[in-house]
Amino acid sequence: MSAARPLPKWADIALLPLLNLALAFVVSGLVVLMIGQNPIDAMAAIVTGAFGNGFNFGYTLYYTTNFIFTGLAVAFAAHAGLFNIGANGQAYIAGLGVILVALALQYTHWTLVMLAGIGAAALFGGFWAFVPGWLQAKRGSHVVITTIMFNFIASALMVYMLNRVLKPASSMGPQSETIAPSGQMPQLGDFFAPFKSTPVNLTFFLAIIALVAVYVVIWRTKFGFAMRTLGHNPVASRYAGISNSRMIMIVMTISGALAGMVAVNEVLGVQNRLALDFVADAGFVGIAVALMGRNHPIGIALAGLLFGALYQGGNELQYVIPGLDRYMVVVIQALVILFTGAMEGLLRPSLERTFMLFSPEQKAEAVKRETATTES
């Protein structure tokens, strides 16, 4: 075995994800090049489309809000060693809870609608994740497969609900009634002129609160310590007297509740009604965000912004460069997941070697350690 030494912490947290991200961009650039377009122009168009002016930036923040929630949902579960692939379904079902309370309370006041909506989203989204959690904890079924199945079940259920139950008699399309103006949440553009007529709304602040809250829960509470113990070593956590099954259920529920906040942003903040497939693929982007952000709230905030910008920039792309559309962004996203998640081992060995090259002491130390273990 070569005398490899673990990377310094900063390289592991920041440098490696950035290199992987760069790799994903290079490969995406090759795809753009393949169809005869200039990747630099495309990149410039995405950046301008995302940050060019207040209007574009408002859209970027609106997408970012969704991705922070789904990123947090995936990351939260990941700390307990669970891979929640069902944020999409959880957010979708949460939309049902949101619209039900919103329609019930729409003539009161928007603050009431918002608070009740947040609660309902957490409840419905949390429930849709609790069931897979319960099934894993008590019946031993794998949470990944169950959450995949739950995504599809949610989708079928919502098509039914929107077509048969929530669709008002006057409407042709599968969507719910629109919330009355008295129950609609204000947009940030109402207070802050540059964001005028963009969909970024108060939920953005909820996302920031969620980031802080998740940080506190994971790293500053006994509960967070217990869940990280479970994630690192389930056997040790059981011997330490932690109820693993109870932990799995709670963590999955919180994860689902976080995913459910996407429904607050979309249903209460922007669309004011429940529409078919309103989650788009925010749940899957959340996987990329969590991987990119190394499951840390600061990382997730940055990765969420990155993907929000990519999304918004990608939407603008088609107007600037004909032939390139937002599906290019799906490709970039997939490559980011591939390189930062699945092929993380690609660059690590060479990076480790590079670091060793620049630090003879570390190399000596590593060699010493290596020989010590082989002799013993």
Partner 1 sequence: MDYQSILSLLDATIRLSTPLLLACLAGMYSERAGVFDIGLEGKMLAAAFAAASVAALTGSAWLGLAAGMGVSLMTALLQGAAAITLKGNQLIAGVAINMLAAGLTTFLGQTWFQQGGRTPALSAGGRFTPITLPFAEELRGVPVIGPIYYDLISGHYLLVYVAFLMVAVTAYVLFRTRFGLRLRAVGENPKAVDTAGISVVKLRYQAVIITGLLCGLAGAYFSIAQGSGFGNNMTAGKGFIALAALIFAKWKPVPAMFTCLLFGFLDALQIRLQNARLFEIEIPVQAIQALPYVLTVILLAGFIGKAVGPKAGGVPYTKER
- The DSSP code sequence of 181-243 is GGGPPPBGGGTSGGGTT---BTHHHHHHHHHHHHHHHHHHSHHHHHHHHHHH-HHHHHHTT--
Q: Of 355, 367, 320, 297, whose CA–CA distance to 41 is shortest?
A: 320
Interface region with partner 1, contact rule CB under 8 A, candidates 196-204, 218-226, 251-259, 342-350: 342-350
Of 15, 43, 275, 334, the one binding partner 1 (CB under 8 A) is 334
Q: Least distance (Å) from partner 1 to the CB of residue 131?
A: 8
Say how many residues make up the chain: 376
Q: What would the x/- binding string for partner 1 be over residues 13 to 52, using CB under 8 A?
A: ------------------x---x-----------------
- Verify binding: residue 169, partner 1, rule CB under 8 A: no
Place of tokens 């929630």: 69
Q: Alpha helices of 240-358 — where are they, by DSSP H?
A: 244-263, 282-292, 297-320, 327-337, 348-357
Rounded to a whole number of angstroms, the minimum distance from the CB of residue 368 to partner 1 is: 17
Binding residue for partner 1, selected from 69, 130, 284, 307, defined by CB under 8 A? 284
Minimum gap (Å) between residue 107 Cβ and partner 1: 31
If one asks whether residue 280 binds partner 1 (CB under 8 A), the answer comes out as: no
Q: Which residue has the tokens 């010590």?
A: 372
For partner 1, the closer of residues 217 and 330 by Cβ is 330
Residue 114 vs 262, nearer CB to partner 1: 262
Stretch (H or E) spanning 321: none
Beta carbon of residue 36, minimum distance to partner 1 (angstroms, whole number): 9
Residue from the set 73, 329, 356, 366 that interacts with partner 1 by CB under 8 A: 329
- Should residue 153 be labelled a site residue for partner 1 when binding is judged by CB under 8 A? yes
Shortest Cβ 232–partner 1 spacing (Å):
16
| CB 297 within 8 Å of CB 211 | yes
Rounded CA Rg of the chain:
23
For partner 1, the closer CB: 29 or 341: 341
Nearer to partner 1, 195 or 278 (CB): 278
CA distances in angstroms from 239 to 220, 234, 236, 251, listed in the order given: 22, 9, 5, 19
Distance, in Å, from the CA atom of 337 to the CA atom of 331, rounded to the nearest integer, reads 10
Q: Is 66 in the site for partner 1 (CB under 8 A)?
A: no
- Residue keyed to tokens 């529409």: 275
Site string for partner 1, 103-142 (x = CB under 8 A): --------------------------------x---xxxx
The pair of structure tokens assigned to 330 is: 């799906």
8 A C-beta contact, residue 268 and residue 102? yes
- CA 273/CA 180 separation, integer angstroms: 10
Build a one-symbol-per-residue string for 68-107: x at contacts with partner 1 by CB under 8 A, - elsewhere: ---------------x-x----------------------
Residues 62, 67, 69, 150: which binds partner 1 (CB under 8 A)?
A: 150
Comparing CB distances to partner 1, the nearer of 167 and 178 is: 167
Q: Which window, 60-68, 145-153, 182-190, 234-242, contacts partner 1 (CB under 8 A)?
A: 145-153
Q: How far is residue 66's CA from residue 91's CA, in Å, rounded to a whole number? A: 10
For residue 43, count CB atoms less than 10 angstroms from its CB and return exposed for 0-12, middle for 13-18, buried for 19 or more. middle
Give the interface with partner 1 as residue ranges (CB under 8 A). 1, 31, 35, 83, 85, 135, 139-142, 144-146, 148-150, 152-153, 156-157, 159-160, 164, 281, 284, 287, 291, 323, 325, 327-331, 333-335, 337-338, 341-346
